[in-house]
Amino acid sequence: MKITVIGTGYVGLVSGTCFSEFGHEVTCVDKDASKIKALENNIMPIYEPGLDSLVARNVEAGRLNFSTDLKTAMQDAKAIFIAVGTPSRRGDGHADLQYVFAAIEEAASYIEDYTLVVTKSTVPVGTGARIKARLSELLPAEKFDVASNPEFLREGAAIEDFMRPDRVVCGVDSERAHDVLRELYRPLYLNETPIVFTNRETAEVIKYAANAFLATKISFINEIADLCEAAGADVQEVSKGIGLDNRIGSKFLHAGPGYGGSCFPKDTRALVSTADQYGVPLKIVRSVVEVNEERKRAMAAKVIKACGGDVAGKRIAVLGLTFKPNTDDMRESPSLDIIPTLQEAGATIHAHDPKGTEEAEKLLKDVTFHNEPYSTMQDADALVILTEWNQYRALDLDRARKLMKDGILVDLRNIYAKASPDKHGFTYTGIGRGA
Ligand code: NAD
């Protein structure tokens, strides 16, 4: 089937490429000409493991194209996927839908034959109905349907998640829309992936409910970590002890510096804001947002406390800047709160990240960025681990300690909790380890 994907970011590029891998003919469109030019030269505008070879293979097979020209891209397309950003709107936390509606308006002018318009972007419940209403003003009803097909992929494992998802959710209000999506996802039926067909509103709520639930697990375990610290317990053992219960599950129970990224922060805020509009106070999700915001502030205070209550004039080595490993995405990363707070308190920051430096350079001021972890530690008073990249899991602690002036290790991901860093001359502070 021929399809067009509007928005060639983390979601659009991965979904478009994976649909082409399924055998469909895909054109990915972006208004950012530099992204399209890079892709035409097989240079990925984002870091996602395995993406470059999958793109190259499908481009070579003639199933995957990139363009800035939506009109040409939409010729003969049976479905268009909207995969543009839905960031937080300034002030009220609602999802900013301006990019979605700009894409819809433009696409509407090129629809000739029946086309299924699918939102892959995360949009608040009721957006599909608004899109339908807007398209009805521009086009005859028989020319289009509007479906919701929210995306659940995780950055860093996006290809695996798209090709072998836990489930696919499709919100439709017509047989025709159902048939188009069923045909598109047919390769997944073959390996028995659950495909949940429901109405559009339900699909829209499923996406936010899923993200809010996962964010809730994170804020929950972060609060439990604080209790563990105060009461002499160990949060990692608590996570294990509760996670072994199948009703709870072990995922998303790692205490840390708070959730970040392009989805959980904005989606939890948007869900609260949407529910407010419907007169439904989502008290749990509201608390999750509050706990997470406080968490990031508390982490800077934790580093300062570990440094004896004062970081003025101190040199701090930071390992990891992205919100999680295996991505270059810096959006709402805890590092963007923690580092400026340490700088305001007088610290000098030296930092390393395997993939995030290019983005971080745009967002963080007065940080010295290094190409490898050990040079960040030279003459440092403290070492802070912010992101659990694999390459930080087996650092040579003796070498690290020799490079550093003072042996303060603040491990906000608990990756050295069991490695006895004190034996290597470090004073260790982890998360939720009161024992
Ligand atoms: P992104 O910012 O990486 O990409 C969006 C792209 O859309 C940009 O390249 C931008 O130039 C392009 N764009 C915007 N308006 C356009 C237009 N009118 N025409 C053509 N291109 C246009 O965003 P993302 O991270 O891929 O997220 C996209 C959506 O998917 C969001 O709603 C997000 O919440 C959702 N989502 C993201 C993830 C994730 O892990 N990033 C996972 C699931 C869902």
User: Are 284 and 396 part of one and the same domain?
Assistant: no
User: Are 337 and 421 part of one and the same domain?
Assistant: yes
Catalytically annotated residue among 28, 170, 228, 263: 263
Tens of pLDDT along 44-66?
999 999 999 999 999 999 999 99
The domain boundary residue, chosen from 258, 289, 320: 289
Among candidates 6, 3, 41, which has minimal Cα distance to 23?
3
Residue 46 included in any domain: yes
The domain boundary residue, chosen from 145, 162, 197: 197
User: Are 149 and 20 part of one and the same domain?
Assistant: yes
Q: How far apart (Å, rounded) are the C-alpha atoms in residues 197 and 174?
A: 11
For residue 264, which amino acid is it? F
| Ligand 1 first shell, C-beta below 6 A | 6-12, 29-32, 35, 83-86, 99, 102-103, 121-122, 151, 153, 155, 262-263
User: Are 51 and 189 part of one and the same domain?
Assistant: yes
The domain boundary residue, chosen from 264, 289, 314: 289
Tens of pLDDT along 384-401?
999 999 999 999 999 999
The structure tokens listed for 244 are 């072994």
User: Are 306 and 417 part of one and the same domain?
Assistant: yes
User: Are 72 and 179 part of one and the same domain?
Assistant: yes
β-pair partners for 403: none
User: Are 311 and 360 part of one and the same domain?
Assistant: yes
For residue 435, name the pLDDT band (cuts at 50, 70, 90): low
User: Are 90 and 162 part of one and the same domain?
Assistant: yes
CATH of the domain at 380: 3.40.50.720
264 alpha carbon – ligand 1 mean position (Å):
15
User: Are 64 and 192 part of one and the same domain?
Assistant: yes
> What is the 3 state secondary structure string of 208-247?
HHHHHHHHHHHHHHHHHHHHHHHHCCEHHHHHHHHHCCCC
Asked if the model's pLDDT at residue 251 lies above 90, the reply is yes
Q: Which domain holds residue 312?
A: 297-429
Domain count, the chain: 3
Site to substitute for ligand 1 among 5, 6, 10, most atoms within 8 A of C-beta: 10
User: Are 259 and 399 part of one and the same domain?
Assistant: no
Average pLDDT in the 243-257 region? 98
Tens of pLDDT along 65-123?
999 999 999 999 999 999 999 999 988 899 999 999 999 999 999 999 999 999 999 99
